[in-house]
Structure 1
Amino acid sequence: MPDNRVLTIILNYKTPQMTLRAAKAAVGAMRHVDGEIVIIDNNSGDGSFEEIQTAAEKAGWCKDNHLRVLQSPVNGGFGAGMNVGLRAGFSDGTTPDYYYLQNSDAFPEINTISTLRDFMATQTDAGLAGSYVHGTDGVPHTTAFRFPTIAGEFEGAARTGVITRVLRHSVVAMDLPQTTCRVDWTAGASLMLRRDMIEAIDGFDETFFLYFEETELCHRAAQSGWNTYYVPESKIAHVGSVSTGMKKWQRTPQYWFEARHYYFVKTHGRAYAILADLARFAGGALYGLRRLIEGKPQVEPDHFTRDLLTHMLRGVSRRIPRPQTRFIPVAKEQK
């Protein structure tokens, strides 16, 4: 089987026109990359699957199975949908060397995918590698991160300069690196995964519906000896939050709190998760005091503190979910 073959996976949920725009960019970026593209419709139930399939065939993208459109039987969230793509493999039954995950609202440049592929081919300890992500207005998006910790939760909620300086090594969102470097985790909008790494750790944990799934994937990869890299030479434009509506949240949805709690419990244990909640409360109280004294703006959605407390109390007695990873098949020999 030829080396360095890439399967690009795009996940759609009720955004068929945006997904087709992303697919067009992926087709261009895959033109000189050995591999295929698969679009997974995450059981949108709104005609997305049929619309994307028809448009892709009309555009000629499906010739020789260069691009396929598949439908997940259920909407299990981001990780579950991506696992459908990971399991799909190539149309001839063989398995790629790399999987490239692309958001349905992200548009790679011509060399975005090949740059990540070439980096992974030479950096043998890299299990994952992500791109420099910017908005369609050119503004950089923060996509290089440290793993969440108790100290990081306090710092992030406090939003106070002196605390940030003291806890600078715990700040989750890093200043964007100017050169390629190791990071704890990076965003899944443009993310290359090594097949050997995915087979070793069994793909995404489908207990996460949305949010924290790529954080936990990078954490599990690190526990197995695989590093994550940020590669700024690989660039992609990203609209952001089209499917989730995060930028317009008036109230934080339950699945965000559940994902955050499960992440801390799975990676550090129940007691650590509770301490992380308490740290976020303490930081939030400090910022609340600054709002009263200095007139600082509200930064969290309405009722955030009350909702966090509710989920913390539920988490004390809630049974810890069993991880729901999905085995990725070992590569088959090409006939």
Structure 2
Amino acid sequence: MNRPDAAAIVVTHNSEAHLFTSLTALCQAELDVRVVDNASTDGTLGLLDREFPDVKVIANPVNTGFAVAVNQALSTVDSDVVLLVNPDCVLPPATARELVGAVAADPGVGIAGPRLIGPDGRVAISAHPFESLASVLASRFGGSLMPVALRRMLCGVNRRRAYDACRRDGGPVRVDWLSGACLAVRTELLRAIGGLDERYFLYYEDEELCLRAGQRGADVVYLPAVSAFHVGGASSPDPTRTWPHLYRSMLLYFARHRGREFRAVRAAVIVRALIGMAIGGARLPLAPRSATARVRAWSQITRLAVAATPEPQEVPPCT
């Protein structure tokens, strides 16, 4: 079987626990693998040196964020297709070949993604419509705070269709955007849009990528017939290090693309953060360490949201 004309880019940050399995699968697929390490303090670099001497490694002295790291590796790629793979995602060789083939065989397809299977064996929802105020309220502020029936009602028809595409078997399905745990992207397209948007340190760069691909006439395609296995959030369990980036990126996305809804989203973020701080405070006597981390994270999110403006360049950085 011919070696696929594709390179895999993996961005790591303290991902040692999952990286061996992920990289082993990529090497078995005979992909040209590049790893960009964002200042890991665990044994990631030692693992790479010991177990994967042929993998090209870029070791950043500071955490540059996901988008910057991907673009660093992209500048060294000469293949027709790039696979963006999270270090806690295992991409079987057969799935890798199908993803690369889906992009390489059809000039109209710019991005393809597989069905994602979580650690519990269930299908993860990884195909989505572009976000709106209603979908943010349902997906980000639902959970135990909102009844399931109300969440489904707020999701709307488009989101339910995307969920159905993930759960049902069948052929390729065109969608608005795909979660970035595992994506095959036409290299020419990725370069044409300037790589991943580096204003997103973490989160929402996948939705931005798919939006900009669609603006250039490229299809984003979900392939339910092939699967990858995704742990999810394995390298970043501390809410003080991840949640502020999530909400900052959300505010940035709405400031750039859904300006009419920005102020409502910002208000919703502030309300959710205040509720989170209250819940965290109530849990302090029972679990002081985790509750303190949550309070700190929601406190930072509150400050970010209060300071945010509709102009994307003025959405404040996380600290």
Match of 1:292 in 2: none
Asked whether the 8 Å contact 1:11–1:104 carries over to 2, the reply is yes
Cα distance in structure 1, aligned partners of 2:182 and 2:227: 9
User: Aligned in 2, Cα 1:51/1:282: closer, same or farther, shift over 3 Å?
Assistant: closer
The Cα offsets for residues 9-44 of structure 1, whole Å up to 9 and x where unpaired, read as 1222122342122111111123xxxx5111222222
Q: Does 1:100 align with 2:83?
A: yes
Q: Over residues 220-254 of structure 1, what are the superposed CA-to-partner deviations in whole Å (9 max), with x where a residue is unaligned?
A: 21122222111122211111111121xx6489732
Please identify which structure carries the higher helix content: 2
- In the other structure, the counterpart of 1:15 is 15
* In 1, Cα distance between equivalents of 2:21 and 2:262: 40
1:236-255 correspondence to structure 2 within 5 Å = 236-245=228-237, 249=239, 253-255=243-245
2-structure distance, mates of 1:126, 1:162? 35
2:24 corresponds to which letter in structure 1? Answer: K
**1:127 to partner: Cα distance:** 1.2
Verify: 1:40 aligned to 2:33, yes or no.
no
Distance in 2 of aligned mates of 1:155 and 1:51:
40
- Aligned counterpart in structure 2 of residue 203 of structure 1, from 195, 198, 204: 195
Give the alignment partner of residue 274 of structure 1, picking from 245, 257, 263.
263
Structure 2, unaligned runs of 5 or more: 275-293
Could you tell me whether the CA contact under 8 Å between 2:9 and 2:36 is conserved in 1? yes
Once residues 310 and 104 of structure 2 are traced to their aligned partners in structure 1, the CA distance between those partners, rounded to angstroms, is 46
2:273/2:302 contact within 8 Å kept: no
- In the superposition, the TM-score normalised over structure 2's length comes to 0.78
Quote the RMSD (CA, aligned, Å).
3.2
Match in the other structure for 1:124: 107
1:83 to 71, 80, 91: 71
Give the alignment partner of residue 265 of structure 1, picking from 255, 271, 279. 255
Letter in 2 for 1:225: G
What code does the residue aligned with 1:81 have? A
Q: 1:54 aligns with which of 46, 50, 57?
A: 50
Identify unmatched segments of 5+ residues in structure 1: 90-94, 286-300, 323-335
Tell me the SS of whatever aligns to 2:264. Answer: helix
Letter in 2 for 1:149: S
Shift of 1:321: 5.2
- Structure of higher RCO (CA pairs closer than 8 Å, 6+ residues apart): 1
Q: Deviations over 1:161-199 (max 9, x none)?
A: 256336523548733243320111111111100012112
1:293 corresponds in structure 2 to none
- Following TM superposition, by how much is the alpha carbon of 1:303 offset from its aligned partner in structure 2, in angstroms? 8.0
- Counterpart Cα distance in 2 of 1:48 and 1:41: 8
- Do the aligned residues in 2 keep the contact of 1:7 with 1:96 (CA within 8 Å)? yes
Matching residue of 1:326:
none
CA, structure 1 residues 312+40, in 2 after alignment: closer, same or farther (shift >3 Å)? closer
Flag the 1:127–1:14 CA change in 2: closer, same or farther, 3 A.
Answer: same
1:202–1:164 Cα change, 3 Å: same
The residue aligned with 2:283 is: none
AA at the equivalent of 2:243: P
| Correspondence 1:113 to 2:89 | no
Counterparts of 1:117 and 1:240, CA distance in 2: 23
8 Å Cα contact 1:4/1:97 also seen in 2: no
Name the % identity. 24
Letter matched to residue 261 of structure 2: Y
Q: Secondary structure at the match of 1:118?
A: helix
Decide whether the 8 Å contact of 1:151 with 1:170 is kept in 2: no
What is aligned with 1:312? 305
Deviation of 1:205 after TM superposition, in Å, equals: 1.1
Separation in 2, partners of 1:171, 1:26: 31
**Equivalent residue pairs, number:** 287
